[in-house]
Amino acid sequence: MLSMSQRYPSALLENAVNELASLPGIGRKTALRLALYMLRRDMNYTESFASALIALRRDVKYCKVCHNICDDELCPICANPNRDHSLLCVVENVKEVMAIENTGQFRGVYHVLGGVISPMDGIGPADLRIDSLVRRVAEGGVREVILALSTTMEGDTTNFFIYRKLSGYDVKVSVIARGVSIGDEIEYADEVTLGRSIVNRTAFSLTNNP
Amino acid sequence: MLSMSQRYPSALLENAVNELASLPGIGRKTALRLALYMLRRDMNYTESFASALIALRRDVKYCKVCHNICDDELCPICANPNRDHSLLCVVENVKEVMAIENTGQFRGVYHVLGGVISPMDGIGPADLRIDSLVRRVAEGGVREVILALSTTMEGDTTNFFIYRKLSGYDVKVSVIARGVSIGDEIEYADEVTLGRSIVNRTAFSLTNNP
């Protein structure tokens, strides 16, 4: 008869596999492959691997203005005087900040909510950085708030909640354009996206259309 | 203009992502997702994660008989008096030991080579535990050596090399059966496997055939 513990010839290996497999999207087979890979590399490799993760978790800071991950009081974007601080892009997380930064098309600043309103996951408005967004707007100097959240029910709910919260202030609230992806065939676009791209059509210009 | 370093708002984050992405099969997007996951968990999580990997790498031992990963001098299989120590199964790595153990069909012991002969990767016979395999056989008490390596050119080369090395000793050398997988449709089996399964057909018996 085989028990779970008999399958691993070493408790150290089993423990390492358990930890690796606790990461999201990493199964036990992949975890074993990664653990064995570490055994083939020298001790320095595992040490610098482990210390990088510990250092991130222990020393990480969040920008006191936009809540983006950073190493100082302010993130590099908020600290940059060349950015347009009157243009705020509201995103869910640091991943979206990085994706938008990679486009090179946005010169404003961000506000990282830390998630979206999701009653199913027990995440309410109070768990997000919505109050500090309203405070940034209330303090003045913000011309436009661009909502760049996912088009899910949770994202739409959060958009609506923020829109209502900001309705008393003199600020323009916009959402990023939704439409058929550049390079996509019209016939394969889903109906909702295609429908919205027709309703929200923009004036043809030689510079904006590739 | 965007430089690589501008993309990450934090050097700590970038460093952690670099380390995670250095693992085989983990891309930069997955690495970022894993790093952000660690930030959502408490400090204890990252600490026990890191220390399990360090402990594995620092304290891992290899069985002095079969070279399997273990926590003591001998692996649990070599230390087990109820196993048949005259039946040696030669495998590439600990993963194959675990796979064969999981079948519950093998009561012999193992010999872990640590790889296969692969001139392309600069791995010669001297880099593998072939000498100690020959020594185990030379010391007597081994009745049969079962070769359970991959059916690749490297695996076949290694099989042949071991076969020649053991040819002077009074030991039976066998290879695991290759054939159509149980549950597979005959029409979809590849020709090489199907051809070999006909050549190496076995006598029909009511107990062996499901």
The answer to whether the CB atoms of A8 and B37 lie below 8 A apart is no
Chain B positions touching A60 (Cβ under 8 A) are: 10, 12-13, 39
**pLDDT value at position B1?**
38
pLDDT band, residue A208 (cuts 50/70/90): low
Of B43, B70, B101, the CB nearest to A10: B70
Tell me the average pLDDT of chain B: 89
Q: How far off is chain B from A82, nearest CA to CA, in Å?
A: 13
User: According to the model, what pLDDT value does residue A199 have?
Assistant: 80
What band does B6 get if pLDDT is binned at 50, 70 and 90? very low
Cβ atoms of residues B45 and B34 within 8 Å: no
Contact B2 A101 (CB under 8 A): yes
Helix (H, G, I), strand (E, B) or coil at A187: helix
Query: What confidence score (pLDDT) does residue B186 get?
Result: 80
Average pLDDT of the residues of chain A: 89
* Pairing mode of beta strands A84-91, B84-91: unpaired
Which of A1, A57, A73 is the mutation pick for testing B, counting most B CBs within 10 A? A57
pTM of the complete model: 0.80
Q: Which two tokens mark B31? A: 């690495």
CB atoms within 10 A of CB A86: 13
Burial of B183 (0-12, 13-18, 19+ CB in 10 A): exposed
Pick from B15, B54, B69: which is nearest to A10 by CB?
Answer: B69
Three-state secondary-structure class, residue B149? coil
Residues A22-58 have pLDDT tens digits of: 999 999 999 999 999 999 899 999 999 999 999 999 9
User: Cβ separation of A39 and B57 shorter than 8 Å?
Assistant: yes
Q: What pLDDT is recorded for position B26?
A: 95
Chain B residues in contact with A68 (beta carbon < 8 A) = 9
Contact A12 B59 (CB under 8 A): yes
- Surface-to-core class of residue B182, CB atoms within 10 Å of its CB (0-12 exposed, 13-18 middle, 19+ buried): exposed
Q: Do A49 and B19 touch (CB under 8 A)?
A: yes
Q: Which residues of A touch B64 (CB under 8 A)?
A: none
Which of B57, B58, B89, B110 to mutate to probe the A interface, most A CBs <10 Å? B57
Residues of A in contact with B53 (CB under 8 A): 16, 19-20, 35, 38, 46, 49-50
Nearest residue of A to residue B45, measured between CA atoms = A19
CB contacts of B113 in chain A (<8 Å) are none
Q: What percent of chain A has pLDDT over 70?
A: 94
Could B30 and A25 be called an inter-chain contact, meaning their C-beta atoms sit closer than 8 Å? Answer: yes
Substitution target in A53, A63, A93 with the highest count of B β-carbons within 10 Å is A53
B208 confidence band (pLDDT: 50, 70, 90): low
In which element (H, E) is residue A88 found? Answer: strand A84-91
The DSSP code sequence of B61-116 is EE-TTT--EESSSS-TTTT-TTSEEEEEEEESSHHHHHHHHHHT---EEEEE-SS-
What confidence category does residue A206 fall into, taking pLDDT thresholds of 50, 70 and 90?
low
Q: Band the pLDDT of B138: cuts 50, 70, 90.
A: very high
Asked whether residue A167 carries a pLDDT value surpassing 70, the answer given is yes
What is the mean predicted confidence (pLDDT) over A67-93?
94
Q: Residue A207: what pLDDT?
A: 66
Measured CA to CA, the distance from residue B148 to residue B92 in angstroms comes to: 8
Of B9, B39, B75, the CB nearest to A68: B9
Q: Is B46 close to A53, i.e. CB distance below 8 A? A: yes
Measured between beta carbons, which residues in chain A are less than 8 angstroms from residue B25?
A: 30, 33-34
- Would you state the pLDDT for residue A5? 42
Neighbouring residues of A127: CB distance < 8 A, sequence distance ≥ 6: A114, A115
> Would you call B93 and A36 a contact, using CB atoms and an 8 Å cutoff?
yes
